[in-house]
Amino acid sequence: MSESDRPFGQMPDASAFDWPGDIAELLEGEMKGKTAAEKRKREKLARELRAMEERRKARG
């Protein structure tokens, strides 16, 4: 459904977005200039989010 097809103020269908994957990419992009501990923490979170997305895709 395009923006012009939606009634005013109606949110797009959440299934149209790859939330965990998008968030993981954002976290990876923010790691410039961070300490090693901060990088490890963000990398772990990104891995967990990607795993969540893979499990969601596997369920169908």
Task: Please give the Cα distance from 36 to 40 (Å, whole number).
Answer: 6
pLDDT at 58: 92
Which helix (H) or strand (E) segment holds residue 50: the answer is helix 36-59
Computed on alpha carbons and rounded to an integer, the radius of gyration of the chain in Å comes to 16
pLDDT at 35: 79
Cα 33 from chain centroid (whole Å): 22
Residues 6 or more apart whose CB falls under 8 angstroms from that of 24 comprise 45, 46, 47, 49, 50, 53
Model pLDDT for residues 2-57, shown as the tens digit of each residue = 555 555 666 555 555 566 667 777 776 666 667 778 878 888 988 998 899 999 99
Assign 55 to helix, strand or coil: helix
pLDDT at 8: 60
pLDDT at 51: 92
pLDDT at 42: 81
